[in-house]
Structure 1
Amino acid sequence: MTKPFAIAIHGGAGTILSSQMTETHHQQIVSALETAVCAGYQVLKQGGDALEAVVVAVTHLENSPHFNAGCGSVLTHKEMVEMDASVMFGDQKQVGAIAGVRHIKNPITLARDVLKHSQHVFLVGDGAEEFAFEQGHTYTEQDYFFTDRRYEQLQSMKEKGLFALSESSYPDDKKFGTVGSVALDQSGNLAAATSTGGVTNKKYGRVGDSAVIGAGTFAENNNVAISTTGMGEAFIRHTVASDVAARMRYLNEEINVACDSVIHGELKNIGGEGGLIAINDKGEIHFSMNSLGMYRASIDLDGNVSVKIYADE
């Protein structure tokens, strides 16, 4: 008898307005989300583990220019791409994380390789890339990541002396760009993965919550797996992902209560805009956000596919 399995993904949360979304752009986003979640689901359906499922799903999102990760990453102050990612496998709480990589096509696969093939849990910058090439990752020129859209956003931020995800030239430009996935496999394992290009015009090697275990990513068997998206500094300060897990572990809160208590509670009170996706050990999925929208998709225990964008859906 097949045991329960399910998966969910996100492509970032923030100010996403239907009034500014063209039908073409809407369909492109929906198609990209559906493709990614179905790819991860197929891994689970074939008996694969949750870690591989979330990595496959996030890889598809990194390969889409519509999300701030991989080839859609925003640009730093020096007009470079610097990407962060992390994974966590609920079995024995295995983790892998990388930050500040510039020449790796799919950072999430590198984070997975840190988990599987290194004695460490977190690698950064040149060292992370040195390890990547030892693992067979190919060198990817910065040109692969460069888009006119991201360049225009950077120039706008430079003119204003600000750093942010982007500006209002696009319907989702005030969105915190992160992608992620959570899954439960047929063996009862939970896993989470998160990847990002960071924020536009960032300086000094800034790293947000996506690479930080317990802030942007967390997975614990017999409990919950979480991937967040939002104002990275706030999510780190409040260790959002681990806080949700702790509420479920120690207070026995239901998944929706734990998630909403954190996202709509202290985080919102300090202006921490964003959201998260979560799945528990029963395969129940919950999306929580204090923003106007979050790109998200899921395939539940019955195989039903759901793709949504706005908070009121």
Structure 2
Amino acid sequence: MTDELGERLRAAWVADSADALVDVGCDLAEEGRQEEAEECFRRAVALGEDWVWFNVGNTVRELGRPQEAVVAYERALTAGETDAWLNLGAVLEELGDLSGAMRAYSRAGEDAGDPEGFLRLAQLLHEQGEQGSAEAAAQRAAETGHLPAVGLLASWRWERTRDVALEPALREGSAVSGSARADLAQLLIETGRRDEARAELERGAKLGQRECWLPLGNLHAGDDLPDPADAPDGEPAAVDLAAAEDAYRAGIAAGDTHCHHNLGVLLLQRGDATAAEEEFRAGADAGDELAQRALRRLQGPGTG
């Protein structure tokens, strides 16, 4: 805690000013001093600022007390702090109360006008297999110009329809969504624009969109099309296995565990079965079914 912050804290307590307590509490929370922040926020509540239960909820959530956070957010909502709906939904989702989370996310969109609420509702509905309802919720967020929702909705629709008319939406969403950029690249490949696809993936990789590394590696490896005959004018795709390996390794470093499988395949083709097995095992341990199957095939019958 800086001397200035300490002086402000003491002054807020002496003055018994709710506004000052909230201000210094927020700064304490930003510096990781959650316990002191909680004390400030609870004192502000005691002084009659019931909406500050929202800040109490944020603080106790950071302190690993989610059930208390639920109670605090509900009290904030009672006080009219509708921004608490989104945070309440997140805590309920963490606690496994998916129906409660979906209701809270819906209210975040409806009552607080927060498109992120509709987006998170869409994601939960998608996970539950309710694709129609998921797209409807994402559409409501996208209509506000919320770019993450624009990208997500475009990706879902591309994966379902392969409609090239989705290109503008994928381009718009790619600004914030690696998945949208990867899907845009696939659309470009399928419409004969491989160089543009590579440029998009390279741009996404530089922006830290980890979803771009795997398709970039596949493009370098010549595996982005199901059959060489599908390439424009029947021309075979250019292959750069060194660049493909670099892309897969960069994807792994960025946290895309699916890259282990593709790197393993490349290493196996090179004749390095030992290194390939290590990659397949790493992917399998991370839950990648392709890597699990590849590991079983490499190890042979009877290996489980």
Do they fold alike, i.e. is TM over 0.5? no
* Normalised TM-score (structure 1): 0.24
* Normalised TM-score (structure 2): 0.24
More helix per residue: 2
More strand per residue: 1
